Chain A
Amino acid sequence: MAQEASSSTSSKTISLKTGDGEIFEIEASAAKQMKTVQRLIDDLGDDITIPLHNVFSKELPKIIEYYKKDITGEITKDFEAEFVKDLNDDEVKVLFLAANYLDANKLFEFLSQNIADRLESKSVEYVRKYFGVENDFTPEEESKLREERAWSFRGIKEDE
Chain B
Amino acid sequence: MVVRQKSDFPDSGRILKRSKPLMSDSALQDKDTNDAVEGKDKFEDMPNCVVLHTLSFMETKDAVRTCVLSKRWRNLWTGIPCLNFNSKSFSRLVDFRRFVVCVLSRRDSSAVKVLNYSRTGVDYATDQNLFNKVIDYVTSHGVEEIRVNLRAKGRGSPPVDIPLSLFNCVSLKKLLLKDCHPSKATWILPFEPPKHLLHLKQFTLDPTAPGHPYSFAGLANIFGFATLTTLNLCRLTLSFTGYETLNPFENCLNLKNLLLREIRFMLEPVPEDFVISAPQLNNLTLMCCRFFKCNLVIAAPKLISFNYLYAAPGAMFEFNIPSVHNFTINICEPQNKLGAPHQKPGEKTKHGLIKMFREGPEAELSFSTAVVSCGAVIMPKKKCPSCCRCQWKALNLRVGSTYKVFVNKLDQITAYFRHCSQHGEYDVLSI
Q: Quick one: CB contact mask for A72-84 with B, threshold 8 Å, 1 for yes?
A: 0000000000000
Of A36, A91, A136, which one neighbours B70 at CB under 8 angstroms? A136
Contact B91 A36 (CB under 8 A): no
Number of A-B contacts (CB under 8 A): 147
Contact B43 A20 (CB under 8 A): no
Q: Check A58 for interface membership: any CB of B closer than 8 A.
A: yes
Contacts of B53 in A (CB 8 A): 112
B33 to chain A: closest residue by CB: A58
Q: Quick one: CB contact mask for B16-55 with A, threshold 8 Å, 1 for yes?
A: 1111111100001001000110111111101000100111
Contacts of A94 in B (CB 8 A): 35, 38-39
Contact A53 B42 (CB under 8 A): no
**Known contacts being A97-B39, A115-B54, A155-B90, is A19 close to B28, with CB within 8 Å?**
yes
Q: Check A10 for interface membership: any CB of B closer than 8 A.
A: no
The 8 closest A-B pairs by CB, nearest first: A155-B95, A132-B40, A116-B57, A53-B21, A116-B58, A152-B64, A151-B102, A133-B69
Contact A145 B31 (CB under 8 A): no
Of A20, A40, A109, A115, which one neighbours B28 at CB under 8 angstroms? A20
A114 to chain B: closest residue by CB: B57
Contact A124 B65 (CB under 8 A): yes
Q: Quick one: CB contact mask for A92-123 with B, threshold 8 Å, 1 for yes?
A: 01101100110100001100110111011110
Contact A151 B43 (CB under 8 A): no
Q: Check A156 for interface membership: any CB of B closer than 8 A.
A: yes
Q: Is the interface of A mostly helix, strand, loop or mixed?
A: helix
Contact A156 B38 (CB under 8 A): no
Number of interface residues of B (CB under 8 A): 57
Contact A124 B69 (CB under 8 A): yes
Contacts of B65 in A (CB 8 A): 124, 127, 152-153
A88 to chain B: closest residue by CB: B36
**Known contacts being A113-B4, A152-B102, is A100 close to B58, with CB within 8 Å?**
no
Q: With A and B bound together, what is the CA distance between A55 and B53 in angstroms?
A: 21
Q: Check A24 for interface membership: any CB of B closer than 8 A.
A: no
Of A101, A112, A155, which one neighbours B99 at CB under 8 angstroms? A155
Contact B90 A157 (CB under 8 A): yes
A141 to chain B: closest residue by CB: B71
Q: A residues within 8 Å of B by Cβ? A: 19-20, 36, 39-40, 43, 51, 53-54, 56, 58-59, 90-91, 93-94, 96-97, 100-101, 103, 108-109, 112-113, 115-117, 119-122, 124, 127-128, 130-137, 142, 145-146, 149, 151-157
Contacts of A119 in B (CB 8 A): 58, 62
Q: With A and B bound together, what is the CA distance between A91 and B19 in angstroms?
A: 24
Q: With A and B bound together, what is the CA distance between A60 and B211 in angstroms?
A: 53
Within 8 A of A (CB), among B53-92: 53-55, 57-59, 61-62, 64-74, 89-92
Query: What is the minimal beta-carbon distance from A23 to any residue of chain B, in angstroms?
Result: 16
Query: What is the minimal beta-carbon distance from A83 to any residue of chain B, in angstroms?
Result: 15
Q: With A and B bound together, what is the CA distance between A40 and B17 in angstroms?
A: 12
Q: Check B338 for interface membership: any CB of A closer than 8 A.
A: no
Contact A121 B69 (CB under 8 A): no
Contact A146 B68 (CB under 8 A): yes
Q: With A and B bound together, what is the CA distance between A128 and B6 in angstroms?
A: 25
